[in-house]
Structures are given as C-alpha cells and as structure tokens.
A and B are shown apart, each in its own frame.
Chain A
Amino acid sequence: MTGSRQQDLIRRTTPLTEASFYILISLAEPLHGYGVMQKVMELSRNRVQLGPGTLYGALTNLMSQGLIEAVDGAGGERKKLYQLTEDGRLVAEHEVRRMEELSRHGHMLLGI
C-alpha cells in the first residue's frame, strides 16, 4: 500500500467514534453482530453500551468504508460474521497510536 493511499484512508475514516473504535477492535476475530455488542460491553465493563440501531449503523458504515468485511460462518450459519480487513487494522492501529499520544501528553502536562 502506498503512503498517500494510507494517508487518504486515515483522513477519510478517523477520528473514529468510541463505538466504532470498540467495534473495530472487537472484530480482530470474526463475530456476529450480537457477539460484537457483548464483547464491547465486556471490554468496557458495561460503560460503552451499544443500542441495536447504533451497532447496525456502525457495522454498515465500517463495511462501506472497507474497514470490516462479512465472512462465511462455519457450518453454513445463517447469521453474518464480521471481521477486520487489512485497512481496518491499519486504521485501528493508527487510532491506538493517536490515543497513546493523547494519553502521554495528558500524563506529562498534568503530572499524573
């Protein structure tokens, strides 16, 4: 992937909302829509609660941006499984680094 394409992708898709970020990192392994919701609640200890409308909307958006993709489930399951794409991983990693920087500067200037 060329540098300018990467930059373009990141400019187009970030900053992610908190909900989208959590959904994205949850999909490092394939999950159903409902599985994503449970995983996000578990990770954030119920702080980030995803309503079905928000979850569905975020999944649709992330799909159309090419950050996640639908994969065929094992055993011909009816429900769609979602998974992070290469682009999605790139964007998620960028966001993690961006937030690390925020956090580092916060610690530095607030002396915590």
Chain B
Amino acid sequence: MREVEMETRKESEWIFKVVWAWQDEREEKWLEEQAAQGWHLEKVAPFFYKFLQGTPSRVIYRMDYKRTTDQDYAEYRDIFTLCGWELVAEMANWHYYRISPENSETPEIYSNDHSKAQKYRRLLIGLVPVMVIFTTIFNPALSRGLLNARNQGDAWVYQAAIAFRVVIFLLLVYVIIRILVKIRRLESGKKE
C-alpha cells in the first residue's frame, strides 16, 4: 500500500486523512514520518493535507490551539518565531509549527504537563461556538423546507434530519469527553 502510494506521488500532493481533535499527538507523529520520507507539510484544510516533496529530514512538528482573533495573538506568534518554531499552516485555530532539531533532543513547545493542559482548555472553549452553531444549523424545526416535508407526508426526511442532528451532537459530546479526559490526565500529574 505504502509503495504504491510513493510511486504515484508527484512533487506536491494533497492527502485525505481523518484526525480527531484529541489526536493531535498522533497527527504530529504522522507529519514527522512524512517529513522523514521527504514529504513536507505545506497547507492544511479540513481533513486534507498538502505536502511538498523535498529532502528526507528529521523535522519535529507540534500543534497548538490558539484563537487568531485573540488580542495577544501577535505577541503569541512572536514568542514562537523567536524560539525558532516556523508556522507552517493554520486551520480553524490549530497552528502547525515545525522545527529542525539541532541535536538528538526533541524540542517541545510545552515543557510541562500543566501548561500543556491549558492548550486543551483553550480548545474546549473554542469548541463551544462550534457546538452552538451545529445544534442551531441542524435544528430541523428551523428549516422551512423540512417542516413542509413533514406536513406533506415526507416524514422520513424530517426524521432523517433529526437523526443526523442527534449523531452530530453525540459526536461533539464524545469529542469533549475525550478532551476532558486528556486535561484530567495532564493535570493529575505533578506540576513539573
């Protein structure tokens, strides 16, 4: 599978991959494996990643969540740049940073679990508007078309819309629980 994929790849390529919000560490590792094979991240869109072909190298990727509309955003960006981290891409407030390590040590953007937990706290707060928007947009009672469908005997359309909304809602609840578990694990350790 992997070999076929390599043969068909061109100088740049978009790859589809589903990654959940709490799996950022897995995503970082995946991006590092791609870089080791010479595929360097260029752009990120929802579920799509654009890579450019280059020299295979050891690159460390780290993801951070920070709202770009925050008042201290410029200050935040400055600190990362000065510390040598290149911002490769930004998607829905997720920042993809990379650095080429100088030695065998792995540079980290968070030096302790306590501050790492804060990243997931920011993510939780960021998910609140998503939750509100989803439950509002997918509210069948707000759609005239769906209400007409119900009145005209196409009840299954209406019910499918409700089922879809319930699935989305449960998915969001699941994501939030996974993030809460992560925060709890990080904060239960000693502070340093």
Which A residues are closer than 8 A to B by beta carbons?
15, 17-19, 33-34, 37, 48-58, 60, 79-80
Q: What is the distance, in angstroms, from B87's C-beta to the closest C-beta of chain A? A: 11
Give the top 8 A-B pairs by smallest Cβ distance, nearest first: A53-B109, A34-B82, A54-B115, A52-B83, A57-B115, A51-B109, A54-B111, A52-B80
A19 engages B111 (CB within 8 Å): yes
B108 engages A51 (CB within 8 Å): yes
The stretch among B18-26, B42-50, B70-78 that forms the contact with chain A is: B70-78
How many B residues, CB 8 Å from partner? 24
A54 engages B110 (CB within 8 Å): yes
Q: Which of B62, B78, B119 has the most CB of A within 10 A?
A: B78
Q: Does B10 contact A (CB under 8 A)?
A: no
Q: What is the distance, in angstroms, from A39's C-beta to the closest C-beta of chain B? A: 13
Of chain A, the residue at the smallest CB distance from B95 is A53
Known A17-B192, A33-B75, A60-B72; contact A51-B114, beta-carbon cutoff 8 A? no
Which B residues are closer than 8 A to A by beta carbons?
62, 64, 72, 75-76, 78-80, 82-83, 85, 107-112, 114-116, 118-119, 191-192
Known A17-B191, A18-B192, A57-B118; contact A51-B111, beta-carbon cutoff 8 A? yes
What are 12 residue pairs bridging A and B, where the CB atoms are less than 8 Å apart in the complex? A19-B112, A19-B192, A33-B82, A34-B79, A34-B83, A51-B109, A51-B111, A51-B115, A54-B109, A56-B76, A56-B79, A80-B75
Of chain B, the residue at the smallest CB distance from A48 is B111
Q: Which residues of A contact B107 (CB under 8 A)?
A: 51
Q: Which residues of A contact B192 (CB under 8 A)?
A: 17-19
Q: What is the distance, in angstroms, from B192's C-beta to the closest C-beta of chain A? A: 5
Q: What is the distance, in angstroms, from A23's C-beta to the closest C-beta of chain B? A: 11
18 A-B pairs besides A17-B191, A55-B83 with CB distance below 8 A are A17-B112, A17-B114, A17-B192, A34-B82, A34-B83, A48-B111, A50-B111, A51-B110, A52-B79, A52-B82, A53-B110, A53-B115, A53-B119, A54-B111, A54-B115, A56-B79, A57-B115, A60-B72
B115 engages A19 (CB within 8 Å): yes
Q: Which residues of A contact B75 (CB under 8 A)?
A: 33, 56, 79-80
Of chain A, the residue at the smallest CB distance from B76 is A56
Q: What is the distance, in angstroms, from B68's C-beta to the closest C-beta of chain A? A: 14
User: How many angstroms from the CA of A85 to the CA of B130 in the assembled complex?
Assistant: 38
Q: What is the distance, in angstroms, from B25's C-beta to the closest C-beta of chain A? A: 14
Q: Which residues of B contact A54 (CB under 8 A)?
A: 109-112, 115-116
User: How many angstroms from the CA of A56 to the CA of B78 in the assembled complex?
Assistant: 10
Q: Which of A53, A55, A58 has the most CB of B within 10 A?
A: A53
User: How many angstroms from the CA of A52 to the CA of B79 in the assembled complex?
Assistant: 6
Of chain A, the residue at the smallest CB distance from B74 is A78
Q: What is the distance, in angstroms, from B121's C-beta to the closest C-beta of chain A? A: 10
